[in-house]
Amino acid sequence: MMTGAEILIDALKKEGVDIVFGYPGGVVLPVFDVLFKTPEIRVVLTRHEQAAVHAADGYARATGRTGVCLVTSGPGATNTITGLANAKLDSIPIVVISGQVKTAVIGTDAFQEADMAGLTRPICKHSYLVQRVEDLPQVLKNSFYIARSGRPGPVAVDLPADVAQAPLENYAYPEHPDIPSYQPPEKGNANQIRKLAAAVKQASRPVILAGGGIVAAGASAELVRFAEKTNIPVATTLMALGCVPDDHELFLGMPGMHGRVSANYALMECDLLIGMGTRFDDRVTGDLKSFAAGATIAHVDIDPSEIGKILRTQIPIVGDVRSVLADLDKAVAPRPANEWNRIVREWSLVHPLSYVQDPEGEILPQYVIDRVNLQASKDTIIATDVGQHQMWSALFVRHRGPRAFLSSGGMGTMGFGLPAAMGASLGFPDRPVVVITGDGSIQMNIQELPTCTLNRIPVKIVVLNNSCLGMVRQWQELFYDGHYSKTCLKERPECRSVCSGHRPDCPNAFWPDFVRVAEANGMPGFRATRVSEVDEVLCKGFAVDGPALMEFRVKKIENVYPMVPGGKPINVILLGAAR
Amino acid sequence: MTEKYTLVITVANRVGVLARISGLLSSRGINIESIVGCRTENPDVYQVHLVIRGTPELVQKISKQVQKLIDTIKVVDIPHKKGGPIREFMFAKIPARKDRSEILDIVNMFGAKIVDISPSFLTVDLSGPTRKIDQFMEMMKPFGIREYIRSGQIAVGS
């Protein structure tokens, strides 16, 4: 005989889970009580449930395994919503288990009751409310299978307290999922694959756009092999950075709103566009009418609903992209490099990423990221938050392999970075983990600093402090006539009468004092305010045996370029040369 | 051009499955013109017939999204203009003190059935293509229809 709570923990063990991110509370106590007696599973107590989900997400992104999160009902459950939606949009496998009030009082507005199954329905791959302990083993088996199979995604399991306490005779963890209605595709259609191989042979200006599906499928090596065999240049989306090493000669960079010029031009000018594990997000395509307008579109994706969702697709291939790449490799003949390869190479050379750091001037954020690269080894995992620093990181971080650049892509969730870095570090205790964040983003989950200190999670926190919400400020400057509405993080009520937004000689102090915040949370804090201090601060911070925070007071009025204004064709690029 | 379609959705018979389908449509701003749901011959399987209006491209995208739900077994979209069998069911309560025989003539003409009778009302049921039900309603209008309820359309692929 076992209780529901014991079954849950046994299931976690059988699924190979050795770490759970969570937060206890009333109705989930039966489960935490079993965890108390289960040394094999490490439970990391975050300081907020949102951070627990992002940590499970970061763990999953870095390791490729399913992240697990355990929270209580009501506010505990609702606090996971942002994390779940974030994981859904980036197709990250996590299982979030929430306590629920007893079945007898569900629907009565009981204390800490929230309809978790209902709340999570549109933002999870699937969700369950477990009403009988007899159903629990199969629900758990199904949940883990759904989360990691097909197009991965988050699964929510709502477990009422009485089900967690109920006994079940003859428990055995099921060997197989039982979901007749769910059969994720595997192999791609052979005819379509032949068609694509023929299109590759005929194309004179082919491009591959690789997305997060390449990471999910573990197909980076296959992608590179295919690209090399056919000499097709590859652009990788934010979610796929690292799939092709950024010093590879076929690598075009990230395309889109803040993409490399070479990548954008190549997508616009190509005659064959092969999307692989990507969903043609609006941040990538810009204006849809002009996007790859002259190209034959081939789209490989495991999710049939993605094909034709955005672009008319002439060669649709539904399947696991790794399996499709293997079949494609057999079907396609080697293809020599041609004039097109020379042209795209030239675009890369003519439009390099650049910035000019004045040694006596204010610190540029791009410069700090460049110097972080020098501290990083090939094992280093870099997480980011969301905003300008995220795009600069995407552009300037050296991407050497998959699952090493963790960023909230689809959802753009500020506050993701620190907990995601924690999750990655706990997944790979021997690899260095850095989070590059901004002063806005870090404050959205800054309560996790003591979690790092107490659990000895040696995350290195790089705060690019420009004392404003930089990306929003940039949009206000470019598209809202410089009306800097609520983007200054030093703003006080009396500012409006003397300042229209971001005065360079602003006398206001910036709060919080990040160095003191770090110290108050038990980790060393360092600050650089001059260019000459950047390397010194990085060296000190990276030398710390444990977590450390490094704050860089960077130039406030600095825009991310290249930039394609929202909804414009992606070859209409602002380069900001005047600045 | 938007057209009417019946989506015939076969799903696992589970709590919340209808909410998933309707949520998926409402999140995309699509109005459900009618919806009928029932268990099938297999007690574990449920079938939903819902009528939406949209372009063929939109309906195809929606069908794929519905198909993606973990509990969905099969989705078929049936365009109404193809003229396959589409049926609806209706109850109507008609005041009938004086014109009883005239009403009965029309009822018989349409093959409707009297299911309840009282000194002042007749309750009839009628099933058939939507157009037939519309016509019946038109014919009954002069007598005043006290109350009616229509099931919404169900369809079967040809």
Domain of residue B17, CATH code: 3.30.70.260
β-bridge mates for residue B116, sequence order: B123
pLDDT of residue A577: 61
Q: Are residues B18 and B42 in the same domain?
A: yes
Q: Are residues B69 and B128 in the same domain?
A: no
Inspect the interface and report whether the beta carbons of B27 and A303 lie closer than 8 Å: no
CATH number listed for the domain at residues A365-467+510-553: 3.40.50.970
Find the closest chain B residue to A131 by CA distance.
B15
By the 8 A CB rule, do A220 and A207 touch?
Answer: no
Per residue of chain B (158 residues), what is the pLDDT tens digit?
Answer: 899 999 999 999 999 999 999 999 999 999 999 999 999 999 999 999 999 999 999 999 999 999 999 999 999 999 988 777 889 999 999 998 888 889 999 999 999 999 999 989 999 999 999 899 999 999 999 998 889 999 999 988 76
Find the closest chain B residue to A180 by CA distance.
B73
- Out of B37, B52, B82, a domain closes at B82
Q: Are residues B118 and B99 in the same domain?
A: yes
- Out of B82, B112, B133, a domain closes at B82
Domain pair A2-168 / A190-350, same fold: yes
pLDDT of residue A355: 93
Q: Are residues B72 and B23 in the same domain?
A: yes
Q: Are residues B112 and B141 in the same domain?
A: yes
Inspect the interface and report whether the beta carbons of B16 and A118 lie closer than 8 Å: yes
Inspect the interface and report whether the beta carbons of A305 and B19 lie closer than 8 Å: no
- Give the integer Cα–Cα distance in Å for B27 and A463: 37
Residue B22 class from Cβ within 10 Å (0-12 exposed, 13-18 middle, 19+ buried)?
middle
Nearest neighbour of A181 by CB, restricted to B64, B65, B71: B71
Inspect the interface and report whether the beta carbons of B61 and A182 lie closer than 8 Å: no
Number of domains present in the structure of chain B? 2
- Give the integer Cα–Cα distance in Å for A435 and A397: 12
CATH number of A190-350: 3.30.70.1020, 3.40.50.1220, 3.40.50.2300, 3.30.365.10? 3.40.50.1220
pLDDT of residue A579: 40
Nearest neighbour of B72 by CB, restricted to A117, A125, A181: A181
Question: Domain boundaries in chain A?
Answer: 2-168, 190-350, 365-467+510-553
Tokens at residue A446, please?
């800054």
pLDDT of residue B100: 87
Chain B environment of A126 (Cβ under 8 Å): 70
Nearest neighbour of A122 by CB, restricted to B15, B23, B71: B23
CA distance B158 to chain A (A): 23
CB pairs under 8 A between A and B: 40
Inspect the interface and report whether the beta carbons of A308 and B60 lie closer than 8 Å: yes
Nearest neighbour of B70 by CB, restricted to A117, A181, A308: A181
CA distance A181 to chain B (A): 5
Most B CBs within 10 A among A88, A146, A181, A182, hence the mutation to make, goes to A181
Tokens at residue A2, please?
């076992």
Chain A environment of B65 (Cβ under 8 Å): 305
Mean pLDDT of chain B: 92
Inspect the interface and report whether the beta carbons of B27 and A122 lie closer than 8 Å: yes
Q: Are residues B23 and B91 in the same domain?
A: no
Chain A environment of B61 (Cβ under 8 Å): 305, 308-309
What's the distance, Cα to Cα, between the start and end of chain A in Å?
A: 71
Was domain A2-168 assigned CATH 3.40.50.970?
Answer: yes
- Give the integer Cα–Cα distance in Å for A519 and A540: 15
Q: Are residues B119 and B51 in the same domain?
A: no
Residue A374 class from Cβ within 10 Å (0-12 exposed, 13-18 middle, 19+ buried)?
exposed
Q: Are residues B67 and B15 in the same domain?
A: yes
Nearest neighbour of B70 by CB, restricted to A122, A126, A308: A126
By the 8 A CB rule, do A379 and A425 touch?
Answer: no
Chain B environment of A304 (Cβ under 8 Å): 64, 67-68
Chain A environment of B70 (Cβ under 8 Å): 125-126, 146, 179, 181-182
Nearest neighbour of B65 by CB, restricted to A117, A125, A305: A305
Measured between CB atoms, does B28 come within 8 Å of chain A? no
- The alpha-carbon radius of gyration of chain A (Å, integer) is 25
> What residues of A are in the B interface, CB distance below 8 Å?
117-118, 121-122, 125-126, 129, 131, 146, 179-182, 303-305, 308-309
Q: Are residues B78 and B90 in the same domain?
A: no
Nearest neighbour of B12 by CB, restricted to A125, A181, A304: A181
Per residue of chain A (579 residues), what is the pLDDT tens digit?
Answer: 999 999 999 999 999 999 999 999 999 999 999 999 999 999 999 999 999 999 999 999 999 999 999 999 999 999 999 999 999 999 999 999 999 999 999 999 999 999 999 999 999 999 999 999 999 999 999 999 999 999 999 999 999 999 999 999 999 999 999 999 999 999 999 999 999 999 999 999 999 999 999 999 999 999 999 999 999 999 999 999 999 999 999 999 999 999 999 999 999 999 999 999 999 999 999 999 999 999 999 999 999 999 999 999 999 999 999 999 999 999 999 999 999 999 999 999 999 898 999 999 999 999 999 999 999 999 999 999 999 999 999 999 999 999 999 999 999 999 999 999 999 999 999 999 999 999 999 999 999 999 999 999 999 999 999 999 999 999 999 999 999 999 999 999 999 888 988 888 899 999 999 999 999 999 999 999 999 999 999 999 999 999 999 999 999 999 999 999 999 999 999 988 644
CB contact residues (below 8 A), chain B span 40-69, against chain A: 60-61, 64-65, 67-68
State the residue range of the domain holding B100. Answer: 86-155
CATH number of the CATH domain containing B108: 3.30.70.1150
pLDDT of residue A551: 98
Chain B environment of A146 (Cβ under 8 Å): 70
Q: Are residues B76 and B120 in the same domain?
A: no
Beta-sheet strands, E only, within B23-97: 34-39, 45-54, 72-79, 86-95
What is the DSSP code (8-state) at residue A296? E
- Give the integer Cα–Cα distance in Å for A417 and A473: 21
Q: Are residues B70 and B99 in the same domain?
A: no
- Out of B52, B82, B112, a domain closes at B82
- Give the integer Cα–Cα distance in Å for A94 and A148: 8
Measured between CB atoms, does B72 come within 8 Å of chain A? yes
Measured between CB atoms, does B131 come within 8 Å of chain A? no
Q: Are residues B103 and B135 in the same domain?
A: yes
User: Residue type at A101?
Assistant: V
